[in-house]
């Protein structure tokens, strides 16, 4: 989860009201956060990833005004219409089709603002932006550039400019091959012949999204007017991000100026800070929360979380949702915020109404037995995340066209699918411990998810050692199967992650229930490892079939 670090005195200045540090630390976590650490006046809070609007001290201050009842209800920001237009050229629609922009004037630069803005960009890039693939942000000094602006796609060898923190001019391809940021994010544009670019009236380059800004618009301690661009592949996500960044700067005293986006088939004003509306039933709130709140109570709870709300008729409320709240997708999300506004500490605890006796699950003894076998063989148990990503699960193992359960709205590119096997998770553990002494041997009895969304239990181990070999792996597998009371045979098996001829499948009752062998050097290097590795994975659910 994203950790936001801020200074208590800076927070108080943004809040605009007096609050003791003790009260802040006691009550702020009730919004939906965990206190990470406190060092003098430096406070670190870990917020849930579904609230990107709380990824900065400015957003926390805004939410706190409502939550602490200093200013309840929806925060309204004054916007001023500008004459700035941005034209979207049709050429960019197949590359990175969407953009939103804003202008914030009269910003007083400070160390706190610069630090907070950089952290906010980083958190939005990693979270809602999927490491810039879905959304990328550019912040520019407005003074040296001249509207109207154009967002277009160009041949990467046809344009050159001086990128941020450089002194020499480079073509777009040279930036991808030589610049630090270009090397890091070149993969986003690798499949395109043309690359996106934002230029001003005189073809001065503002930004090469999602890679790097131009040095012309570098923000300095003397910058007062900031032009913001947000580009990407999802218009809704872009709108939320431009609203979050723009309003954060407004919290610092800046004035918001709207811009006009002239797209291929439409035009719109950006940023659009108008709230959206949803209907919430009070009866539904009480049913979910087990409360007896009336319409007035629910409205007050919502206003404490920064919404506006009004009664349409009995037990039916219109809720006006801020333009920076990206997490409100369903009615149940509003119910959760009612609970936060009501206060989790006010919910009464109850003793169970029935006395029951528990018993172990049917496969508990099998699982515990397998763990004891592995520990007896000298392996250390680990527990890893079920959520993974395509690169670790498939690309690094050389697997292609594997069906898996994908996550529709992941918080980052490292959490985009559910794992189908345990070996990649174990290899990541080895990679993170590669500087420790060898041998290292670990195992996991954990959940994997098949294409039909069914949870299955697998057992896997890996061992890294200079002398690790297929023969050793086979002897360990034989010990596991013998001690678990399973008759089996082995058969030659081809798996792209393993060395051909040093990999075998495990057969029982004419069914393939697992595989083992010696990993291919390419697989080992893909996980930044250097020594031989043996690996094994077993479908535990099939042992009893």
pTM above 0.85, yes or no: no
**pLDDT value of position 459:** 96
**pLDDT value of position 280:** 95
Contact by Cβ (8 Å): 503, 516: yes
Contact by Cβ (8 Å): 112, 7: yes
Contact by Cβ (8 Å): 328, 306: no
Q: Which helix (DSSP H) or strand (DSSP E) does residue 119 occupy?
A: helix 111-126
**pLDDT value of position 407:** 80
Burial letters 207-218, b for 16+ CB under 10 A, else e: bbbbbbbbebbe
Q: What is the pLDDT along the chain (545 residues), one digit of tens a residue?
A: 678 999 999 999 999 999 999 999 988 888 888 888 888 899 998 887 788 999 999 999 999 999 999 999 999 999 999 999 999 999 999 999 999 999 999 999 999 999 999 999 999 998 889 889 999 999 999 999 999 999 999 999 999 999 998 999 999 999 999 999 999 999 999 989 999 999 999 999 999 999 999 999 999 999 999 999 999 999 999 999 999 999 999 999 999 999 999 998 899 999 999 999 999 999 999 999 999 999 999 999 999 999 999 998 888 999 999 999 999 999 999 999 999 999 988 888 888 888 888 888 888 889 999 999 999 999 999 999 999 888 888 899 998 888 888 887 776 677 888 999 999 999 999 999 988 899 999 999 999 998 888 899 999 999 999 999 999 999 999 999 999 998 999 999 999 999 999 999 999 988 999 999 999 999 999 999 999 999 999 999 888 66
Q: For 502, how many CA atoms within 13 A lie in the half-sphere containing its CB? A: 18
The two tokens of residue 313 are 């008729």
Cβ neighbours for 253, distance < 8 A, ≥ 6 positions apart: 106, 107, 108
**pLDDT value of position 483:** 92
**pLDDT value of position 37:** 87
In 3D space, the residue among 204, 211, 131 whose CA is nearest the CA of residue 172 turns out to be 211
User: Among the residues of 108-171, which ranges form H helices?
Assistant: 111-126
**pLDDT value of position 246:** 97
How many angstroms separate the CA atoms of 99 and 86, rounded? Answer: 9
**pLDDT value of position 358:** 84
**pLDDT value of position 195:** 97
Task: Give the Å distances, CA to CA, from 162 to 119, 205, 213, 222.
Answer: 24, 9, 9, 21
């Amino acid at each position: 989860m994203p950790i936001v670090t801020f200074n208590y005195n800076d927070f108080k200045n943004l809040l605009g009201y007096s609050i003791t540090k003790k009260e802040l630390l006691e009550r702020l976590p009730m919004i939906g956060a965990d206190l990470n650490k406190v060092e003098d006046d430096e406070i670190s809070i870990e917020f849930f990833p579904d609230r990107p609007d709380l990824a900065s001290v400015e957003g926390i201050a805004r939410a706190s005004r409502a939550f602490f009842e200093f200013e309840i209800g929806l925060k309204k920001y004054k916007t001023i219409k500008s004459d700035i237009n941005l034209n979207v050229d049709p050429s960019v629609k197949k590359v990175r089709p969407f953009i939103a922009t804003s202008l914030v004037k009269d910003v007083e630069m400070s160390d706190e603002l610069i630090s907070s803005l950089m952290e906010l960009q980083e958190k939005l890039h990693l979270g809602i932006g999927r490491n810039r693939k879905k959304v990328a942000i550019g912040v520019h000094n407005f003074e040296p550039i001249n509207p109207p602006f154009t967002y277009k796609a160009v041949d990467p060898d046809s344009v050159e400019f001086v990128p941020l923190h450089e002194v020499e001019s480079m073509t777009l391809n040279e930036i991808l091959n030589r610049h630090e940021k270009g090397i890091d994010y070149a993969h986003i544009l690798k499949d395109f012949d043309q690359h996106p670019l934002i230029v001003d009236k005189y073809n001065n380059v503002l930004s090469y999204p999602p890679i790097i800004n131009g040095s012309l618009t570098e923000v300095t301690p003397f910058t007062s007017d900031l032009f913001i661009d947000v580009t990407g592949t999802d218009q809704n996500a872009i709108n939320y991000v431009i609203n979050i960044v723009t309003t954060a700067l407004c919290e610092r005293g800046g004035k918001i100026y709207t811009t006009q986006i002239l797209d291929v088939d439409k035009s719109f004003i950006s940023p659009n800070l108008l709230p959206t509306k949803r209907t919430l039933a009070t009866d539904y709130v009480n049913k979910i929360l087990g409360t007896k709140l009336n319409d007035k109570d629910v409205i007050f709870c919502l206003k404490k979380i920064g919404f506006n709300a009004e009664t349409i008729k009995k037990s039916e409320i219109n809720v006006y949702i801020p333009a920076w709240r990206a997490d409100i997708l369903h009615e149940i999300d509003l119910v959760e915020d009612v609970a936060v506004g009501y206060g989790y500490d006010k919910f009464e605890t109850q003793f169970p109404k029935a006395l029951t006796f528990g018993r172990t699950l049917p496969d508990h003894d099998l699982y515990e037995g397998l763990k004891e076998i592995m520990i007896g063989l000298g392996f250390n148990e680990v527990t890893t995340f079920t959520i993974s990503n395509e690169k670790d699960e498939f690309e690094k193992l050389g697997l292609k066209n594997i069906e898996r359960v994908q996550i529709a709205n992941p918080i980052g590119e490292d959490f985009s699918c559910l794992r189908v096997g345990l070996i990649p998770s174990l290899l990541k553990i080895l990679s993170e411990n590669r500087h420790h002494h060898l041998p290292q041997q670990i195992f996991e009895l954990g959940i994997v998810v098949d294409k039909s969304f069914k949870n299955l239990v697998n057992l896997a181990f890996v061992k890294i050692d200079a002398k690790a070999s297929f023969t050793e792996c086979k002897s360990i597998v034989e010990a596991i199967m013998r001690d678990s009371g399973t008759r089996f045979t082995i058969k030659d098996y081809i798996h792209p992650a393993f060395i051909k001829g040093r990999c075998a499948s495990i057969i029982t009752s004419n069914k393939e229930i697992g595989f083992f062998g010696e990993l291919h050097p390419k697989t080992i290097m893909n996980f930044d490892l250097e020594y031989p590795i043996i690996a094994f994975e077993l479908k535990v659910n099939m042992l009893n079939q």
